[in-house]
Amino acid sequence: STLVLGDSIVRNVRMRGALTLSFPGATVVDIVDRIPNILASHPQVNRLIIHIGTNDIPKQQSELLKLDFLQLFSLLGQLQVSAFISGPTPTCRGIGRFSQLLSLNTWLSSACVSHGVGFINNFDAFWERRHLFGSNARISVRSCVSCF
């Protein structure tokens, strides 16, 4: 079965045969710390989709964020699951944040390939599709669940 794991953006993701666990405000390190216990509680999981990293952006420490993702890749390499990173979504909340998210997306797309982890390019999927954004300028995942 599939486990969708991440911050608050995944809370309304519903997929047949999938369990969704949302941890609002979670950072990459938070998810790395939680994965072993979650998988121990759900041994039937053979596919893991992780959407994380957006809450790390305000810290403006991109090199440390990359190290956190490298720690996540290391953990994923030890697990018996097919792993996918669901990349960041574009934002309408200022050019600085947009630029940081785009930079993270670009780095993740190549880092995932290097570490044998699948990458879901949400930036391209949601780019210039304002109708998929909710009224508070956040992605309305309910309107695009199939993107996951």
Ordered alpha helix ranges (H), the chain: 28-41, 62-78, 95-114, 122-126
Q: Kindly list the averaged pLDDT for each block of 10 residues, start to end, along the chain of length 148.
A: 91 85 94 97 96 86 93 96 90 74 92 96 68 47 41
**Spatial distance between the Cα atoms of 137 and 97, rounded to a whole number of angstroms:** 13
Q: How many CB atoms lie within 10 A of CB 75?
A: 15
How far is CA 23 from each of CA 44, 51, 55, 92, 134, rounded to the nearest angstrom?
21, 10, 11, 23, 20
pLDDT, position 138: 45
pLDDT attached to residue 110:
97
Distances 78 to 56, 73, 75, 86, 102 between C-alpha atoms, Å: 24, 9, 5, 19, 28
One-letter identity of residue 146: S
Query: What pLDDT shows up at residue 95?
Result: 75
Q: Which fold has domain 2-147?
A: Rossmann fold (3.40.50)
> Nearest 10 degrees: CA dihedral of 93, 61, 86, 117?
160
